[in-house]
Each structure stands twice: as structure tokens, then as C-alpha cells.
Chains A and B, each alone.
Chain A
Amino acid sequence: MKNWLSTIQQNKRLQAIIIGLYIVVTFLSLYLAQKSVVAFLLLLSSLLLLYFTTFSNRVKWLIGGFVLVVLLPFAASQGEAYQSYMEVATLVGIYIAMALGLNIVVGLAGLLDLGFVAFFALGAYTYGIFATSQANNFMPFGQYPLSGESFWVFIFIGCLVAALFGVLLGIPVLRVKGDYLAIVTLGFGEIIRIIFNNLDKPVNITNGAMGLASVQPPRLFGIDFMYPSQFYYIVLVILIAVIFAVRRLEFSKIGRAWKAVRENEIAAQAMGIHLVRTKLMAFAVGASFSGMMGVVFAAKQTFVDPTSFTLLESITILVMVILGGMGSVPGVILGAALVTILNLQVLTELTNWLNQLSLNGVINVPDALSPAKMQRFIFGIILIFFALYRPQGLLPAKNPAFDEDELKNTEGNLVNTSVQKEATQHVHLDR
């Protein structure tokens, strides 16, 4: 087995054949099978396979992009379950972006944020309020709802609002550290939810527990984006931008500063890193991804209410980060995809299947045991198991390793040193 793997690892042509075959087979099975969740998931997991190949990054991106942009929507569009597949894929994208945002705060900067969904809520409400007639209640000027064309601007506004609140929250909160920070952010998450829930009086801003209904769909060149298959492309574009940004940030000056703060605050400070500014930056950047996706979420659901932004959501995003690996971008993407698919597809399918079995009288599963209700149980198990036995997650974070000799030989010259191999990076949250 090991020999096999190593031969495959050395032979690029073999890899190309394997991944090509895999993609073709899963594509055909999704194309031909009218409604098959398994084929859909297998086609998605070709991306994971692609990650393990030794192709250059550019090739990986090209193949991955081709699968996501062309193959997946095309294969899925043949069956009647097209929209529900695209719905899942869209939500996976939204959660990946949020998990990447939280990854900056928890994984890179080492600040445990348990109220992360608050920023998502801020983004969603920012668009929700102005894209419904709700804004007429308190805005003295302008006609609301704004047309769907404003959606594209609101992606940036949502981003800015969330980042602003990230900073506003950060300024007082970052004076406490470690586990206190976790509690305070948790409190903040709850406060935001309670406020949104009650901000219908004295001035009706959020419409309270009733929520905001019929949010305007986005519009581009006269086309309304109504279906998940259309939102899929919006999410994909934003997601690629987010992944690109995160990758660049991780190895930039600020990214290294985040890691330094995570490893040891005092040592980082001694090396001249401005603690407050670095932490605020992490909060703001993490929050802004979340706010952006909040806007998309509001437009996709066409309905915003406070029940979508509970603590369970915050913990779900945390589970994604822990499962995938703190600080590791591919890991977090994998974790987010796994948890979202588990939530949306696997649990509901299992529940349906069990219900079917109980109906046929094969086995009798009580309603209390239905897997769709077991989210907390499953998340609890994942958190405990990974914290105890695999704190580095499924795909651990890696640091680029530099060849010392090569660096010394090119004295003084700013030469791009090639990254030889990737060394494993150990995530130490502050002790």
C-alpha cells in the first residue's frame, strides 16, 4: 500500500490519469443518475483528491476551477434535484468563507471568538434592512427597498460594517485575554442577537422577531438572481477572492505577526509587534469575510430573522475550524465543507432513511433519536475528540521551510528563495 502511494506520488502522469478518470466517472454518474447525493459528493471530493496531487498550484487551480465552474453545475443540471444540489453547494461556499474568517481570528491570531456569527448577522441585516421597505421606518430620505442592483455595493458595505464592528468590539475586549476573551465574545454574540430581536421599538429598525421578509434579489444587467444555481456563481467568485486574500495574508507581514502573537504575546511584543493593532486587524479581517457572506445569505434566503444567528451557528463555525485544522487554509475549507454537508445532506438523508425504515416496520427508531436533532451531540463529540486526540485537525497547518544554505549563499541579494518543502507547523494557542 505504502509502495503504491509513493509510486503514485512520484509519477505525475499516473496522478493525472487517476484524477482524470475519477472526475470523468463521477461526472458521468452524476450526469446519468437523476438524483444521487453520493455521486454529487464524490464529484465534490475530487477537489480533495486534487489537493493531494503534486501538480503545480496553477494546474490545481485550473482543474479545480473547471470542475466547479463547468462540470459540477452542468452535471447536476440534468436531474430534477438541480436546485437543491446548488443550494447545498452555495451554502458550503458561504460557510467556507466564514470559517476562513474565523480561522484568521482563532487559527492565526489565537483569539478564541465564540460570537463570530454576530458579524454574519450584521452583514445580513445591513442588506436586509435596506433591500426591504423596512428602511422607510427610520430613514428620512430615499425610497426603499433599494433595487437589486445595489446588492453589489452592499457586499462591500456589509464587509465594512462588519469590520467596523469587529474593531469596535475589539478595542475594549482585547484588553482581556485567553479564556476571558472567549466569554466576552460569546456575550457579545448573544447581545447582538437579543438587540436584533428587540429593535422593533421605539423605532422599528429590524422588525424584531418577525424578521425581514422578501428581501430584493440581486440584479445584474436586468437579470434577477433568484435561484441557488445563480447564487452559486456569486458565492464562487467571492469565495475565490477570499481564499486568494487569505493565502496572501497568511504569509505577509501581518500574517507572520498574527502567528507570533498566537505563539507568545510577550515575546511578540518584545520583537516590536504592536499587539493591539495586530489583534484588531485580525478581528476586522475575519469579521469582514463574515459580513460579506451575510449580505449574500440575506439575498439568497430573501428572509432574515434573529433565529439564524444563534450560538449554535457560532459553535458550528468553530467546529469547522477545529475539525479542519486551526491555521490551515485547506484544512478549514475541508472542515467547513464536511460540516455543512453533514448538516444539510447526510443528517437529513439519514433521518429520511430511518423514517422510511420505521414506516416499513423494519426497525423502530424513536423520534428523539432522529439524526437531524443530534447536531449538538455530533458537534460535541467532534470538539472533544479532536481536542483530545488530534488538536492539529484533519489537514494540519504547514509553514514553508527555507533552505538555510541557499539563503546564506545569496547574501544581501533579494533573490526569491524557492520553498523546498513544507514543514509541519504546530499551533500553540496562548498558554
Chain B
Amino acid sequence: MINEVLHTLPQVLIDGLTLGAVYAIVALGYTMVYGILELINFAHGEIFMTGAFVGTAILLTFAGVGWMASMPAVVALILVLIITSVVTGLLGMGIERVAYRPLRNAPKLITLITAIGISFLLQDIVRFIAELKKGNYILTGPSLFSGQIGIKASSVWSGFNDASVKSSFFIVIVVAVIMMVTLDFFINKTKWGMAMRAVAQDRETAALMTVNVNKVIALTFFIGSALGGATGVLFAIQYGTIDPYIGFILGLKAFTAAVLGGIGNIRGAMFGGVLLGVLEMFAAANLPVISNGILGAEYKDVFAFAILIIVLIFKPEGLFGKVSVEKV
């Protein structure tokens, strides 16, 4: 049994890293907003989904006009990433302005209910537009970077099976790392990043120190949503097919990753995302083997939720979070 698990390990790690990178960046959006507003931005998964659709739409337009042939795929990718992240960033800012800002002093659960409403609204609007333009809301984008590369893992150790990698894997990892490093630099080293950390710590005091709180919150939403949208593009490129309902479950898992790493903690979210991705792929590949076929791979979603519930119950502050004391 252990041999079987080891056989598939290289492939599991590669798939898990890809998925984990996606989770990690989406989790950043949750954790940033939570850190600053103590609000679970339910609509974040849908912003990710919108990003995937906007990116695919741009790629399809490029292909339709015939630009795809005339420019290298990497340039197209960069263009698409930039346009998409600006679009979704503005979308996130708009959502904050319309739906969250008027409720900033309202009970938390009212805001949560609005967030669920926004997420349903976005799902249906995207479905509607996609169905109107294409006749079907399940889209398949043009395939970029679809070459397969074999990795001879068996030459490292004979217990491993060979793994194969789509070349988009490298794109996903490289872009994800660039985004995360830039964000980390931005938060920790720049003036605006300092303002964000100040607002997260204490909104009123930050306001007294001449930090424009509304602007900082809008900026947080812009950055989180831009990252989410860009990740949507990466997801579309890596997995090919997208539909308006991908954002929900993925958002939930990214939220799990954020909780796992300690919500409000940026580096924790990155780590939690990668960890959750690898764990989930491991479960998907090995649950049937370990349980002798009793538990199918379908239980991988249950596995992710179970992690969420266990973490929330036994270590609600997450792996790297700070314990907070509730005051009356």
C-alpha cells in the first residue's frame, strides 16, 4: 500500500503545487480583507471566477482578431493578466463601495448576507453574459502552453513513477510566486502597505494618524480582487474549461487555506494554500488506495471541509495566527 502511495507521489506533488498556488493567491484576497475589515468577503470566489471569464473572453477575442498568431504567447498572457486584474480590481472596489461600505457599522451577519447576495448576483450575471454570447455557459478557452513535459522521477528513486507536467504549470508557479513576492514587498516595505497594516491593527487610531481609511480599504479590495482575477486567468489556462460556478467551491477552499494559515496573516495564507492544495491532491489520489476502495476520490471535497472544521474547532487562530481575546 505504501509503495502505491509512493509511486504516485511525484505526480501528486506537481498537481498539488499547481492547485496550491491557485488556492494561495485566492486565499490572499480573503485574508487581506479579513485582516482589515474582519469580514469574510464571500464574493471573492466569484471575483476569481469573473477573472477567469474575462481572461478567456480576451484570449478568445485575440484569437478572433488574429493577434494570437502574431505575438508570442507570453506577451499575450501578460497583456491578459494586466487587463483582467485591472477589471476585477475595479469590480472588487465597486462591490466594496456599493455593498460593504454602507454596512460598515452594521451587525456582521448582515454584511455576510449581502456578500452572499453579491456572490449569487455575479454568478448569474456571468452565466447570463456567457450564455448570451456563446450559447453555453461552460467555456473552453484557447489552449496556451499545452505542451507536456515528462519528468523522469523514476531515475531519482526507483519507487517513483514518472510524472508529466503541462508547460502551463511553470507559468502558473512563476506568476504566482511573482505576485506573492510583490505583494509581500508591498505590504511590508511601502508607505501604502504600512497604512494598510495600520488600518488592520486599529482603524480609529490609524485615521487619527492621517491615514485615509476609506482609501486604504478600497485599495485593499482592489489589490485582493486584482490578484483573485489574475489567478482566475491562470486557472483557466491550466485547467481549460470554466463555468460560472467554479468560484464557489474554490473560494471556500481558499478560505479554508486562509484559516489554516491563520486568517489575517499574509504569509500564513500563502503557506496554507500550498499545504491545502498538496493535501487535497494527495487525498484525491490516495483515499481509494488507503481505504481499500471504500472512500472514492469524490470525498476530496469532504476532506477539505473536514480540515476547515477541525482547524476552526481546535486551533481557530490557524497555524501562524495570533490568539485574540474577546472583550466585552
- Residues of A that sit less than 8 Å from B by CB: 110, 112, 114, 172-173, 175-176, 178-180, 182-184, 186-188, 190-191, 194-195, 197-198, 201-202, 266-267, 311, 315, 318, 322, 366-369, 373-377, 379-384, 387-388, 391, 428-431
Name B's interface SS.
helix
Establish whether residues B128 and A384, one from each chain, have CB atoms under 8 Å apart when the complex forms.
no
Establish whether residues A179 and B108, one from each chain, have CB atoms under 8 Å apart when the complex forms.
yes
Establish whether residues B116 and A383, one from each chain, have CB atoms under 8 Å apart when the complex forms.
yes
Using Cβ atoms and an 8 Å threshold, which residues of chain B touch A178?
108-109
Using Cβ atoms and an 8 Å threshold, which residues of chain A touch B309?
172-173, 184, 187-188
Known: A179-B40, A384-B114. A376 touches B121 (CB 8 A): yes
B94 on the interface (CB 8 Å rule)? no
Establish whether residues A184 and B103, one from each chain, have CB atoms under 8 Å apart when the complex forms.
no
Query: A315 vs B132: C-alpha distance in the bound complex, in angstroms?
Result: 26
Establish whether residues B40 and A183, one from each chain, have CB atoms under 8 Å apart when the complex forms.
yes
* Pick from B39, B117, B131: contact of A384, CB under 8 Å: B117
Known: A175-B313, A176-B316, A186-B252. A383 touches B294 (CB 8 A): no
* Pick from B121, B252, B298: contact of A183, CB under 8 Å: B252
B306 on the interface (CB 8 Å rule)? yes
Known: A186-B252, A381-B117, A429-B110. A194 touches B312 (CB 8 A): no
Name A's interface SS.
helix
Establish whether residues B124 and A187, one from each chain, have CB atoms under 8 Å apart when the complex forms.
no
Of chain B, the residue at the smallest CB distance from A111 is B109
Chain B 77-107 near chain A by CB (<8 Å), digits 1 or 0: 0000000000000000000000100110011
Establish whether residues A377 and B124, one from each chain, have CB atoms under 8 Å apart when the complex forms.
yes
Of chain B, the residue at the smallest CB distance from A203 is B294
Interface residues of B in 274-314 (CB under 8 A from A): 293-294, 296, 298-299, 301-302, 305-306, 308-309, 312-313
Query: A297 vs B111: C-alpha distance in the bound complex, in angstroms?
Result: 33
Shortest CB distance B273–A (Å): 16
Establish whether residues A194 and B117, one from each chain, have CB atoms under 8 Å apart when the complex forms.
no
Query: A374 vs B131: C-alpha distance in the bound complex, in angstroms?
Result: 12
Using Cβ atoms and an 8 Å threshold, which residues of chain B touch A175?
312-313, 316
Query: A431 vs B118: C-alpha distance in the bound complex, in angstroms?
Result: 21
Interface residues of B in 241-293 (CB under 8 A from A): 248-249, 252, 255, 259, 293
B112 on the interface (CB 8 Å rule)? yes
Using Cβ atoms and an 8 Å threshold, which residues of chain B touch A112?
109, 112-113
Known: A183-B255, A377-B120, A380-B118. A176 touches B313 (CB 8 A): yes
Establish whether residues B248 and A368, one from each chain, have CB atoms under 8 Å apart when the complex forms.
no
B178 on the interface (CB 8 Å rule)? no
- Residue pairs across A and B with Cβ atoms less than 8 A apart, 14 shown, are A178-B108, A187-B308, A198-B296, A198-B298, A266-B328, A375-B124, A376-B120, A377-B120, A377-B125, A379-B117, A387-B106, A387-B110, A387-B117, A430-B108
Query: A278 vs B39: C-alpha distance in the bound complex, in angstroms?
Result: 26
Query: A377 vs B128: C-alpha distance in the bound complex, in angstroms?
Result: 10
Shortest CB distance B245–A (Å): 10
Establish whether residues B112 and A179, one from each chain, have CB atoms under 8 Å apart when the complex forms.
yes
Q: Which of B106, B112, B117 gathers the greatest number of chain A CB atoms within 10 Å?
A: B117
Of chain A, the residue at the smallest CB distance from B107 is A429
* Pick from A176, A198, A380: contact of B117, CB under 8 Å: A380
Using Cβ atoms and an 8 Å threshold, which residues of chain A touch B301?
190-191, 194
* Pick from B113, B249, B313: contact of A383, CB under 8 Å: B113
Known: A191-B305, A368-B131. A377 touches B121 (CB 8 A): yes
Using Cβ atoms and an 8 Å threshold, which residues of chain B touch A366?
131-132
Establish whether residues A430 and B313, one from each chain, have CB atoms under 8 Å apart when the complex forms.
no
Using Cβ atoms and an 8 Å threshold, which residues of chain A touch B312?
175-176, 180, 183-184
* Pick from A187, A373, A431: contact of B305, CB under 8 Å: A187
Given contacts A182-B112, A379-B120, A429-B108, 19 further A-B contacts (CB under 8 A): A175-B316, A179-B40, A179-B108, A179-B109, A179-B112, A184-B308, A184-B309, A190-B249, A194-B298, A198-B299, A266-B326, A368-B131, A376-B124, A380-B123, A383-B114, A387-B113, A391-B110, A429-B107, A429-B110
Using Cβ atoms and an 8 Å threshold, which residues of chain B touch A369?
128, 132
Query: A191 vs B259: C-alpha distance in the bound complex, in angstroms?
Result: 18
Shortest CB distance B315–A (Å): 11
Known: A191-B306, A202-B293. A384 touches B107 (CB 8 A): no
Number of interface residues of B (CB under 8 A): 49
Using Cβ atoms and an 8 Å threshold, which residues of chain A touch B124?
373-377, 380
Using Cβ atoms and an 8 Å threshold, which residues of chain B touch A383?
113-114, 116-117, 120
8 closest cross-chain pairs (CB), A and B: A383-B117, A380-B121, A380-B120, A368-B131, A187-B305, A377-B124, A384-B117, A429-B109
Of chain A, the residue at the smallest CB distance from B297 is A198
Query: A195 vs B299: C-alpha distance in the bound complex, in angstroms?
Result: 8
Using Cβ atoms and an 8 Å threshold, which residues of chain B touch A379?
117, 120
Using Cβ atoms and an 8 Å threshold, which residues of chain B touch A376?
120-121, 123-124, 127
Q: Which of B120, B121, B309 gathers the greatest number of chain A CB atoms within 10 Å?
A: B120
Query: A375 vs B127: C-alpha distance in the bound complex, in angstroms?
Result: 12
Using Cβ atoms and an 8 Å threshold, which residues of chain B touch A368?
127-128, 131-132
Query: A315 vs B106: C-alpha distance in the bound complex, in angstroms?
Result: 21
Q: Which of B99, B114, B255, B326 gathers the greatest number of chain A CB atoms within 10 Å?
A: B114
Using Cβ atoms and an 8 Å threshold, which residues of chain B touch A429?
107-110
Shortest CB distance A302–B (Å): 27
Of chain B, the residue at the smallest CB distance from A192 is B302
Establish whether residues B308 and A384, one from each chain, have CB atoms under 8 Å apart when the complex forms.
no
Known: A380-B124, A388-B102. A315 touches B116 (CB 8 A): yes
Using Cβ atoms and an 8 Å threshold, which residues of chain A touch B299?
194, 198
Chain B 164-198 near chain A by CB (<8 Å), digits 1 or 0: 00000000000000000000000000000000000
Shortest CB distance B233–A (Å): 24
Using Cβ atoms and an 8 Å threshold, which residues of chain B touch A391?
106, 110
Establish whether residues B114 and A431, one from each chain, have CB atoms under 8 Å apart when the complex forms.
no
Establish whether residues A201 and B110, one from each chain, have CB atoms under 8 Å apart when the complex forms.
no
Shortest CB distance B205–A (Å): 20
Using Cβ atoms and an 8 Å threshold, which residues of chain A touch B39?
179
Using Cβ atoms and an 8 Å threshold, which residues of chain B touch A190?
249, 252, 301, 305
Query: A367 vs B133: C-alpha distance in the bound complex, in angstroms?
Result: 11
Establish whether residues A194 and B114, one from each chain, have CB atoms under 8 Å apart when the complex forms.
no
Query: A350 vs B19: C-alpha distance in the bound complex, in angstroms?
Result: 42
Establish whether residues A194 and B131, one from each chain, have CB atoms under 8 Å apart when the complex forms.
no
Shortest CB distance A354–B (Å): 15
Using Cβ atoms and an 8 Å threshold, which residues of chain A touch B259?
180
Establish whether residues B302 and A195, one from each chain, have CB atoms under 8 Å apart when the complex forms.
yes
Query: A197 vs B301: C-alpha distance in the bound complex, in angstroms?
Result: 12
